[in-house]
Amino acid sequence: MRQVVFAANWKMHLGPEEARAYLKTFFERSRLPDGRLPEGCEVWFFPPAVSLEAVAQALVGRSGFLAGAQNVYWEPKGAFTGEISAPLAAAAGARAVLVGHSERRHRFGEIDADTERKLSAVLEAQLLPLLCVGETLAEREAGNTLDVVTRQLEAALGRRPPAALQQVTVAYEPVWAIGTGRNATPRDAAEVHRAIRRWLAEHGAKSSRILYGGSVSLKNAAELLAERELDGVLVGGASLDPATWGELVRSTAA
Ligand code: 13P
């Protein structure tokens, strides 16, 4: 049976109170029978760190749901003002962590070597990494998409044994499609997903999941997910309204 992940990246939105209210509305309005997800479907929430505990607590006992952190620093503890570590995220209830999101790479100057260290820290804390990769518009137009994505995979994952790689989910998020209203076509996304899948298989991970992200909305989610190369979606803007997100999950999960 096909497994599909619906991942919501709230970015810098929704404090603890708002997060609790969001989840209440989500469960009321998503019309999931008994609040349960269809078989084979998972919903992951990536709230800002201050709301992680509220979200994790609201999801306790709900199968198929998990809370994750948007970012962690690679050291487990110490004098790193403003950062959170993977063990701290886990203590707040996180079970997954985004690594190398394009906003981390392009707005905060995160380099490939940082994603490698962060990914190690996430695995060390027994959390599930969701590694984000993707090219800029200039890189796509220069025909370098697969080179860039492969370089990002090599840097973060290239030296890991297959057992560790199996824990990793990859999200292909072309930078030019994030927050722009311009999504990749299912065909374009599938081409890159195939290359990522091949790379993972060559490194011993045959069953890793690959999500697509970048301007996914209620309008285009079904068309994108009809492409079997996509094991799910990672959604920013369209995940911020609980009713819209509930509808997106309910209408495309079936
Ligand atoms: P949008 O869905 O707002 O384009 O954001 C995508 C994203 O960055 C998810 O991580």
Domain-by-domain residue ranges, the chain? 4-252
Q: What is the mean pLDDT of residues 219-232?
A: 96
Q: Which tens digits make up the pLDDT trace of 134-184?
A: 999 999 999 999 999 999 999 999 999 999 999 999 999 999 999 999 989
Shortest-distance atom of ligand 1 to CA 11:
10
Tell me how far the alpha carbon of residue 224 lies from the centroid of ligand 1, in angstroms: 14
Q: What is the mean pLDDT of residues 32-44?
A: 86
Percent of the chain with pLDDT over 90: 91
CA nearest ligand 1 atom 1, residue: 236
Shortest-distance atom of ligand 1 to CA 183:
4
Any atom of ligand 1 within 6 Å of the Cβ of 8: no
Say what the pLDDT of residue 251 is.
87
Q: Is the CA virtual torsion 205, 207, 209, 210 positive or negative? A: positive
Any atom of ligand 1 within 6 Å of the Cβ of 215: yes
Please say if 101 is a catalytic residue: yes
Q: What is the CA radius of gyration of the chain?
A: 17
Say what the pLDDT of residue 120 is.
98
pTM: 0.97
Which of 101, 193, 203, 229 is catalytic? The answer is 101
Please say if 193 is a catalytic residue: no
Tell me how far the alpha carbon of residue 60 lies from the centroid of ligand 1, in angstroms: 26
- Rounded to a whole number of angstroms, the distance between the first and last alpha carbons of the chain is 12
Alpha carbon of residue 17 to chain centroid: 23
CB 86 within 8 A of CB 122: yes
Any atom of ligand 1 within 6 Å of the Cβ of 9: yes
Which of 103, 135, 173, 229 is catalytic? The answer is 173
Architecture per CATH, domain 4-252, reads as Alpha-Beta Barrel (3.20)
Any atom of ligand 1 within 6 Å of the Cβ of 87: no
Residue 32 φ then ψ, to 5°: -80, 130
**Burial call 199-210: b when 16+ CB within 10 Å, e when fewer:** bbeebebeebbb
CA nearest ligand 1 atom 2, residue: 236
Any atom of ligand 1 within 6 Å of the Cβ of 70: no
CB 23 within 8 A of CB 58: yes
Q: Is the CA virtual torsion 61, 66, 72, 75 positive or negative? A: positive
Tell me how far the alpha carbon of residue 171 lies from the centroid of ligand 1, in angstroms: 11
Residue 22 φ then ψ, to 5°: -55, -50
**How far is residue 45's CA from residue 235's CA, in Å, rounded to a whole number?**
10
